[in-house]
Protein backbone atom coordinates (compact mmCIF):
# COMPACT_ATOMS: atom_id res chain seq x y z
CA UNK A 1 0.00 0.00 0.00
CA UNK A 2 1.36 3.43 -0.93
CA UNK A 3 1.93 6.24 1.56
CA UNK A 4 -0.98 8.03 -0.12
CA UNK A 5 -3.35 5.15 0.68
CA UNK A 6 -2.15 4.93 4.27
CA UNK A 7 -2.65 8.62 4.93
CA UNK A 8 -5.95 8.75 3.06
CA UNK A 9 -7.37 6.29 5.58
CA UNK A 10 -6.56 8.73 8.40
CA UNK A 11 -8.89 11.51 7.28
CA UNK A 12 -12.22 9.69 7.49
CA UNK A 13 -12.59 10.64 11.16
CA UNK A 14 -13.20 14.33 10.39
CA UNK A 15 -16.05 13.79 7.93
CA UNK A 16 -19.29 14.91 9.48
CA UNK A 17 -17.59 15.85 12.75
CA UNK A 18 -17.76 19.62 13.15
CA UNK A 19 -15.55 19.99 16.28
CA UNK A 20 -12.76 18.03 14.64
CA UNK A 21 -13.18 19.98 11.42
CA UNK A 22 -12.90 23.29 13.31
CA UNK A 23 -9.75 22.13 15.08
CA UNK A 24 -8.22 21.08 11.77
CA UNK A 25 -9.02 24.47 10.25
CA UNK A 26 -7.61 26.26 13.30
CA UNK A 27 -4.29 24.40 13.11
CA UNK A 28 -4.08 24.95 9.36
CA UNK A 29 -4.66 28.70 9.73
CA UNK A 30 -2.19 28.88 12.62
CA UNK A 31 0.46 27.08 10.56
CA UNK A 32 0.08 29.31 7.49
CA UNK A 33 -0.03 32.43 9.69
CA UNK A 34 3.16 31.23 11.34
CA UNK A 35 4.85 30.84 7.94
CA UNK A 36 3.86 34.39 6.95
CA UNK A 37 5.07 35.79 10.29
CA UNK A 38 8.42 34.06 9.91
CA UNK A 39 8.95 35.92 6.63
CA UNK A 40 8.77 39.27 8.42
CA UNK A 41 12.01 40.86 9.57
CA UNK A 42 10.41 41.98 12.85
CA UNK A 43 8.08 39.03 13.19
CA UNK A 44 9.55 37.29 16.21
CA UNK A 45 7.28 38.97 18.83
CA UNK A 46 4.23 37.95 16.80
CA UNK A 47 5.60 34.42 16.51
CA UNK A 48 6.01 34.19 20.27
CA UNK A 49 2.44 35.45 20.72
CA UNK A 50 1.08 32.88 18.28
CA UNK A 51 3.07 30.15 20.04
CA UNK A 52 1.55 31.18 23.37
CA UNK A 53 -1.94 31.05 21.86
CA UNK A 54 -1.30 27.60 20.41
CA UNK A 55 0.09 26.35 23.71
CA UNK A 56 -2.98 27.68 25.53
CA UNK A 57 -5.31 25.73 23.23
CA UNK A 58 -3.42 22.43 23.67
CA UNK A 59 -5.72 21.10 26.47
CA UNK A 60 -8.74 21.44 24.15
CA UNK A 61 -7.14 19.78 21.13
CA UNK A 62 -8.37 16.27 20.41
CA UNK A 63 -5.81 13.49 20.59
CA UNK A 64 -5.95 12.99 16.82
CA UNK A 65 -4.55 16.50 16.31
CA UNK A 66 -1.99 16.49 19.12
CA UNK A 67 0.95 15.34 16.93
CA UNK A 68 0.24 18.12 14.42
CA UNK A 69 -0.24 20.67 17.19
CA UNK A 70 3.10 19.81 18.81
CA UNK A 71 4.81 19.71 15.39
CA UNK A 72 3.75 23.31 14.72
CA UNK A 73 5.06 24.36 18.13
CA UNK A 74 8.26 22.45 17.37
CA UNK A 75 8.60 24.33 14.09
CA UNK A 76 8.24 27.64 15.92
CA UNK A 77 10.89 26.74 18.48
CA UNK A 78 13.20 25.50 15.75
CA UNK A 79 12.67 28.62 13.66
CA UNK A 80 13.68 30.89 16.54
CA UNK A 81 16.92 28.89 16.83
CA UNK A 82 17.33 29.03 13.05
CA UNK A 83 16.88 32.81 12.96
CA UNK A 84 19.25 33.37 15.90
CA UNK A 85 21.91 31.20 14.26
CA UNK A 86 21.60 33.02 10.95
CA UNK A 87 21.76 36.42 12.64
CA UNK A 88 25.01 35.24 14.22
CA UNK A 89 26.64 33.94 11.04
CA UNK A 90 25.45 37.06 9.20
CA UNK A 91 27.61 39.16 11.50
CA UNK A 92 30.70 37.10 10.76
CA UNK A 93 33.20 37.80 7.99
CA UNK A 94 33.12 34.35 6.42
CA UNK A 95 32.10 35.05 2.84
CA UNK A 96 28.78 35.08 0.99
CA UNK A 97 29.01 31.48 -0.22
CA UNK A 98 29.66 30.05 3.24
CA UNK A 99 26.82 32.08 4.74
CA UNK A 100 24.39 30.62 2.18
CA UNK A 101 25.57 27.06 2.78
CA UNK A 102 25.36 27.48 6.56
CA UNK A 103 21.90 29.01 6.18
CA UNK A 104 20.69 25.92 4.35
CA UNK A 105 22.46 23.58 6.76
CA UNK A 106 20.76 25.33 9.68
CA UNK A 107 17.41 23.93 8.53
CA UNK A 108 18.43 21.07 10.82
CA UNK A 109 17.51 23.38 13.71
CA UNK A 110 13.89 23.44 12.47
CA UNK A 111 13.72 19.74 11.64
CA UNK A 112 15.22 18.49 14.90
CA UNK A 113 12.46 19.59 17.34
CA UNK A 114 9.70 18.21 15.09
CA UNK A 115 11.53 14.94 14.50
CA UNK A 116 12.36 14.48 18.17
CA UNK A 117 8.73 15.04 19.15
CA UNK A 118 7.83 11.96 17.08
CA UNK A 119 9.41 9.81 19.78
CA UNK A 120 6.53 10.88 22.03
CA UNK A 121 4.24 8.98 19.66
CA UNK A 122 6.63 6.03 19.18
CA UNK A 123 7.14 6.80 15.51
CA UNK A 124 10.15 7.02 13.26
CA UNK A 125 11.48 10.59 13.43
CA UNK A 126 11.71 10.85 9.63
CA UNK A 127 9.18 8.99 7.45
CA UNK A 128 9.41 7.83 3.82
CA UNK A 129 13.01 6.60 3.93
CA UNK A 130 12.25 3.25 2.32
CA UNK A 131 13.07 2.08 -1.18
CA UNK A 132 11.00 4.03 -3.75
CA UNK A 133 8.51 2.33 -6.01
CA UNK A 134 9.36 3.99 -9.32
CA UNK A 135 6.77 1.88 -11.15
CA UNK A 136 3.92 3.39 -9.13
CA UNK A 137 1.43 5.38 -11.19
CA UNK A 138 0.96 9.14 -11.03
CA UNK A 139 -2.44 10.30 -12.25
CA UNK A 140 -3.39 13.74 -13.54
CA UNK A 141 -4.84 15.96 -12.28
CA UNK A 142 -5.67 14.33 -8.93
CA UNK A 143 -2.51 12.26 -8.23
CA UNK A 144 -4.49 9.07 -7.54
CA UNK A 145 -7.13 9.48 -10.26
CA UNK A 146 -7.49 11.33 -13.52
CA UNK A 147 -7.57 11.13 -17.29
CA UNK A 148 -3.83 10.48 -17.74
CA UNK A 149 -1.27 8.34 -15.95
CA UNK A 150 2.49 7.81 -16.01
CA UNK A 151 4.91 5.93 -13.80
CA UNK A 152 6.96 7.87 -11.28
CA UNK A 153 10.08 6.98 -13.29
CA UNK A 154 8.64 8.39 -16.53
CA UNK A 155 7.38 11.50 -14.76
CA UNK A 156 10.83 12.21 -13.33
CA UNK A 157 12.53 11.77 -16.70
CA UNK A 158 10.08 14.21 -18.29
CA UNK A 159 10.55 16.66 -15.40
CA UNK A 160 14.35 16.52 -15.74
CA UNK A 161 14.16 17.18 -19.49
CA UNK A 162 11.74 20.10 -19.09
CA UNK A 163 13.83 21.65 -16.31
CA UNK A 164 17.01 21.33 -18.38
CA UNK A 165 15.34 22.87 -21.44
CA UNK A 166 14.02 25.84 -19.43
CA UNK A 167 17.33 26.70 -17.75
CA UNK A 168 19.76 25.82 -20.56
CA UNK A 169 19.61 29.25 -22.29
CA UNK A 170 20.33 31.09 -19.04
CA UNK A 171 23.19 28.75 -18.16
CA UNK A 172 24.67 29.19 -21.64
CA UNK A 173 24.62 32.98 -21.26
CA UNK A 174 26.48 32.78 -17.94
CA UNK A 175 29.01 30.06 -18.75
CA UNK A 176 31.92 32.48 -19.28
CA UNK A 177 31.51 33.97 -15.79
CA UNK A 178 31.46 30.63 -13.96
CA UNK A 179 34.81 29.34 -12.72
CA UNK A 180 35.46 25.67 -11.78
CA UNK A 181 35.20 26.39 -8.05
CA UNK A 182 31.56 27.35 -8.55
CA UNK A 183 30.74 23.70 -9.30
CA UNK A 184 31.74 22.68 -5.77
CA UNK A 185 29.65 25.47 -4.24
CA UNK A 186 26.61 24.68 -6.42
CA UNK A 187 26.78 20.94 -5.74
CA UNK A 188 27.13 21.52 -1.99
CA UNK A 189 24.14 23.87 -2.01
CA UNK A 190 21.99 21.50 -4.08
CA UNK A 191 22.74 18.47 -1.91
CA UNK A 192 22.23 20.22 1.44
CA UNK A 193 19.14 22.17 0.43
CA UNK A 194 17.33 19.34 -1.37
CA UNK A 195 17.83 16.82 1.43
CA UNK A 196 16.84 19.11 4.29
CA UNK A 197 13.90 20.82 2.57
CA UNK A 198 12.43 17.48 1.50
CA UNK A 199 12.88 15.97 4.95
CA UNK A 200 11.14 19.00 6.48
CA UNK A 201 8.30 19.62 4.04
CA UNK A 202 7.58 16.26 2.41
CA UNK A 203 8.78 14.25 5.38
CA UNK A 204 7.91 15.34 8.90
CA UNK A 205 5.33 18.04 8.06
CA UNK A 206 3.45 16.25 5.28
CA UNK A 207 3.08 13.19 7.50
CA UNK A 208 1.62 15.26 10.33
CA UNK A 209 -0.85 17.17 8.15
CA UNK A 210 -1.79 14.05 6.20
CA UNK A 211 -2.65 12.18 9.38
CA UNK A 212 -4.61 15.09 10.84
CA UNK A 213 -6.59 16.67 7.99
CA UNK A 214 -6.21 14.25 5.09
CA UNK A 215 -3.77 13.72 2.25
CA UNK A 216 -4.94 16.28 -0.29
CA UNK A 217 -5.54 19.15 2.17
CA UNK A 218 -2.25 18.28 3.88
CA UNK A 219 -0.39 18.29 0.58
CA UNK A 220 -1.86 21.67 -0.36
CA UNK A 221 -1.11 23.25 3.03
CA UNK A 222 2.48 22.03 3.23
CA UNK A 223 3.12 22.97 -0.41
CA UNK A 224 1.81 26.49 0.19
CA UNK A 225 3.96 26.78 3.30
CA UNK A 226 6.97 25.49 1.36
CA UNK A 227 6.46 28.14 -1.29
CA UNK A 228 5.83 31.06 1.05
CA UNK A 229 8.90 30.38 3.17
CA UNK A 230 11.10 31.22 0.18
CA UNK A 231 10.17 34.89 0.56
CA UNK A 232 12.68 35.32 3.38
CA UNK A 233 15.35 33.99 1.00
CA UNK A 234 14.83 36.96 -1.31
CA UNK A 235 12.21 35.71 -3.76
CA UNK A 236 9.15 37.75 -4.78
CA UNK A 237 5.76 36.51 -3.65
CA UNK A 238 4.71 35.45 -7.15
CA UNK A 239 7.81 33.27 -7.45
CA UNK A 240 6.97 31.81 -4.03
CA UNK A 241 3.61 30.70 -5.46
CA UNK A 242 5.47 28.94 -8.27
CA UNK A 243 7.55 27.15 -5.65
CA UNK A 244 4.30 26.15 -3.93
CA UNK A 245 3.14 24.57 -7.19
CA UNK A 246 6.42 22.70 -7.40
CA UNK A 247 5.89 21.51 -3.84
CA UNK A 248 2.67 19.80 -4.91
CA UNK A 249 4.58 17.79 -7.51
CA UNK A 250 7.36 16.93 -5.05
CA UNK A 251 4.73 15.75 -2.59
CA UNK A 252 2.92 13.71 -5.23
CA UNK A 253 6.15 11.91 -6.09
CA UNK A 254 6.80 11.14 -2.41
CA UNK A 255 3.28 9.90 -1.75
CA UNK A 256 3.07 7.71 -4.85
CA UNK A 257 6.59 6.27 -4.64
CA UNK A 258 6.47 5.94 -0.86
CA UNK A 259 9.92 7.50 -0.51
CA UNK A 260 11.66 10.86 -0.18
CA UNK A 261 14.58 9.85 -2.39
CA UNK A 262 13.09 10.55 -5.85
CA UNK A 263 11.93 14.01 -4.72
CA UNK A 264 15.34 14.72 -3.19
CA UNK A 265 17.09 13.87 -6.47
CA UNK A 266 14.67 15.97 -8.53
CA UNK A 267 14.86 18.87 -6.07
CA UNK A 268 18.66 18.68 -6.09
CA UNK A 269 18.90 18.71 -9.88
CA UNK A 270 16.55 21.69 -10.05
CA UNK A 271 18.55 23.57 -7.41
CA UNK A 272 21.74 22.92 -9.37
CA UNK A 273 20.16 24.28 -12.55
CA UNK A 274 18.84 27.32 -10.68
CA UNK A 275 22.28 28.01 -9.24
CA UNK A 276 23.99 27.79 -12.63
CA UNK A 277 21.33 29.93 -14.29
CA UNK A 278 21.78 32.70 -11.72
CA UNK A 279 18.30 32.46 -10.19
CA UNK A 280 19.99 31.47 -6.93
CA UNK A 281 22.96 33.77 -6.31
CA UNK A 282 25.75 31.75 -4.72
CA UNK A 283 28.50 34.20 -5.60
CA UNK A 284 29.00 37.85 -4.71
CA UNK A 285 30.38 38.66 -8.12
Provide block-wise average pLDDT over 10 residues at a time, the chain (285 residues).
Answer: 51 60 92 94 89 91 91 95 94 87 96 91 89 93 81 96 95 80 91 98 95 92 96 90 96 96 98 90 57
pTM for the complete prediction?
Answer: 0.90
The span from the CA of 235 to the CA of 13, in Å, is 38
pLDDT of residue 178: 75
Predicted local distance difference test score (pLDDT) of residue 44: 86
Give the pLDDT confidence score for residue 197 in this predicted structure: 98
pLDDT at 285: 45
Predicted local confidence at residue 95, as pLDDT:
85
The pLDDT score that the predictor gives to residue 1 is: 46
- Give pLDDT, residue 10: 52
* pLDDT for the residue 119: 87
pLDDT for 283: 54
Query: Could you please report the per-residue DSSP string of the chain?
Result: --HHHHHHTTSGGGTT-HHHHHHHHHHHHHHHHHHHHHTSTT-HHHHHHHHHHHHHHGGGS-GGGHHHHHHHHHHHHHHHHHHHHHHHHHTS-S-HHHHHHHHHHTTHHHHHHHHHHGGGGT--SS--BS---TTSEEEEETBSSEEEEEEHHHHHHHHHHHHHHHHHHHHHHHGGG--THHHHHHHHHHHHHHHHHHIIIIIIIHHHHHHHH-HHHHHHHHHHHHHHGGGGGT--HHHHHHHHHHHHHHHHHHHHHTBSHHHHHHHHHHHHHHHHHTSS-----
Peptide bond into 141 cis (omega under 30): yes
Q: How far apart are CA 33 and CA 31, in angstroms?
A: 5
Share of the chain above pLDDT 90, in %: 65
Question: Rounded distance, CA 212 to CA 68, Å?
Answer: 7
Tens digit of each residue's pLDDT (9 = 90 or more) over 52-68? 999 999 888 888 899 99
Using an 8 Å Cβ cutoff, are 115 and 126 in contact?
yes
In whole angstroms, give the CA distance from residue 93 to residue 131: 42
Q: Cβ(242)–Cβ(50) under 8 Å?
A: no
What is the pLDDT at residue 3? 55
Amino acid sequence: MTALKLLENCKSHIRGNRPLFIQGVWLTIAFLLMIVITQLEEGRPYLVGLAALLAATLPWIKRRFTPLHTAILGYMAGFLLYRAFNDWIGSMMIGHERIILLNRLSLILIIAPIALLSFMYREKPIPYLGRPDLRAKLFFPFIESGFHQVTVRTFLIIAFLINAAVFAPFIFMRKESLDPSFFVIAISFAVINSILEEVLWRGVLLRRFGEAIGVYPGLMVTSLGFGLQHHSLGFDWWICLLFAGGGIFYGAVVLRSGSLYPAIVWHGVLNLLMAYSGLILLQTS
